[in-house]
Structure 1
Amino acid sequence: MPTSIITTDDLREFKMELIEEIKELMTQKAGVTMKKWLKSTDVMEMLKISPGTLQNLRVNGTLPYTKIGGLIYYDASEIERVMEENRVLNS
């Protein structure tokens, strides 16, 4: 079995290739747009909350929603706005 010697130049080249691939992946991820309307399950997963907590946020008016038939939808930008408004900054 033939062996090969890895030099520091090889490692630098590998590092640069790896960094470029990571940048590409991050750019692709940033280009993905979030859905405008989210269902309850999406919101619970995103905020890591229970169905009861989500219901409380609806009932007390914290999260605005739209109900069509039996389905409840939340505007993704409204959720982001509520999160920003309730942000706590530590000094």
Structure 2
Amino acid sequence: MEPDHGKLFIGGISWDTDEERLKEYFGKYGEVVEAVIMRYRATGRARGFRFVVFADPVVAERVVMDKHMIDCRTVIVKSCTKNL
């Protein structure tokens, strides 16, 4: 299995949305292995995008097909799997 299977990019997310909120929201689809907020190294401030990793890559494929609103913001969800 490639390391990016089950990994999703979540963009346009609220600054206030934390890892626990992401796990709660995406957990309704399936088991979330990891939710990571990308931060600026110098300031520690969130960069406005996150990554979510599902235990089952099939679940991640289903999640990409839906539209998502988290904390009153419509977010972008894209697969991180490389299609060669």
Give me the TM-score of the superposition, normalised by structure 2.
0.31
TM-score of the aligned structures, taking structure 1 as reference length:
0.29
Q: In proportion to residue count, which structure has more helix?
A: 1
Structure that is richer in strand per residue: 2
